[in-house]
Amino acid sequence: MHIILNGDQRECPDRLSASQLLEDLGLTGKRLALEVNREIVPRSTFDTHIIQPGDRIEIVHAIGGG
Amino acid sequence: MSTVMHPSAAINSDPLVIAGVEYHSRLLVGTGKYRDLEETRAATQASGAEMVTVAIRRTNIGQHANEPNLLDVISPQHYTLLPNTAGCYTADDAIRTCRLARELLDGHDLVKLEVLGDEKTLFPDIIQTLQATEVLVKDGFKIMVYTNDDPIIAKRFEELGCVAVMPLAAPIGSGLGIRNPYNILTIVENATVPILVDAGVGTASDAALAMELGCDGVLMNTAIAGARDPVMMASAMKKGIEAGREAYLAGRIPRKRFASASSPIEGTFF
């Protein structure tokens, strides 16, 4: 299915959980936050939150800044 | 509001208290603009800072999956992280950033709120910042707010529930130092929450001046990261903050127009 991840169009398997998406991206265990369609998906629900076609997903982390 | 201190108060008995937590360093630093993570680590350590700001940005997908991460060298175990809303020009973007930061940092809700109004000066958009403050305070955030040096606005942010108010010295990264010392002084005198100068500091004397005006702390990034020797400048800033704070607590002499001799007149033999 088609999703938009960090601003880029992307294809991914159907019925993917947030955990599975992060695993496919090599991001399991990293300190990050996930937002789907402008709503935060809490880490505790990564296993049960299912990504839908057309979802706009943002994955963010902390970097150096003033 | 200044605290009456014992004349021989050591640094450790003059803590900076923000949102009920004590800090022994009054220097807060940003983590941006360094050459690499090692320089970030070394300069931050040399500064003695206990609270450091971080930015919230998209993860790089696919590339450099095993690249070291800022939090590997600036650990939440050793530092209080202060996520900022840098780059936000609207209240909505800033609110969204704060909520993501809180999720990222396991519910940690101390944030630096900045909403910019202009790309050239990076001055705050006060109207948007006020709007964001109202929403974020209701949502339980503890806000350290980046603002201008307008004493009326500074007091307004305090009344809205910010845990600290941070007036700029000069534009971010400009190194111009405190442009309006009397405004900063008025802000300090009117405040019942900590006042930290944030943005525009250039060198150690700028930081010392902020502390001599009675500020509770100083937040800086470019002044250290952009110096020729950032680790040395971090050390200089640490000392400048300490010197300024002691000078403030010691109670300076007033400025007088004319001289008053330091040696007695009686007993002269000429």
Q: Pull the structure tokens for residue A7.
A: 């601003």
pLDDT band at B1 (very low <50, low <70, confident <90, very high): very low
Predicted confidence at residue B7, as pLDDT, reads 40
- The string of pLDDT tens digits covering residues B238-256 is 999 999 999 999 999 999 9
User: How far apart, in whole angstroms, are the C-alpha atoms of residue B123 and residue B255?
Assistant: 33
B197 touches chain A (CB under 8 A): no
- % chain B with pLDDT above 90: 91
Among the partner-chain residues B32, B59, B220, the one whose CB lies closest to the CB of A65 is B32
B239 among known catalytic residues: no
Q: Which residues of B touch A42 (CB under 8 A)?
A: 103
Give the distance from CA A9 to its chain's centroid: 13
Q: Which of B194, B154, B202, B214 is nearest to B178 (CA)?
A: B202
pTM across the whole model = 0.93
- The string of pLDDT tens digits covering residues B95-130 is 999 999 999 999 999 999 999 999 999 999 999 999
Mean of the per-residue pLDDT values for chain B?
A: 94
Q: What are phi and psi of B106, to 5 degrees?
A: 60, 40
Give the distance from CA B255 to its chain's centroid: 28
pLDDT band at B200 (very low <50, low <70, confident <90, very high): very high
Residue of A nearest to B70 (CA): A63
pLDDT at residue B4 is higher than 60: no
pLDDT tens across the length of chain A (66 residues): 999 999 999 999 999 999 999 999 999 999 999 999 999 999 999 999 999 999 999 999 999 998
A and B: number of Cβ contacts within 8 A: 99
Dihedral (Cα; B262, B267, B268, B270), 10-degree rounding: 180
The residue that leads in pLDDT, A41 or B11, is A41
Q: Are A39 and A33 in contact (CB under 8 A)?
A: no
Q: Which of B87, B20, B24 is nearest to B53 (CA)?
A: B87
pLDDT at residue B6 is higher than 70: no
C-beta atoms of B70 and A64 within 8 A: yes
- From the number of C-beta atoms within 10 Å of its C-beta (0-12, 13-18, 19+), residue B57 rates as middle
- The string of pLDDT tens digits covering residues B40-70 is 999 999 999 999 999 999 998 876 656 788 9
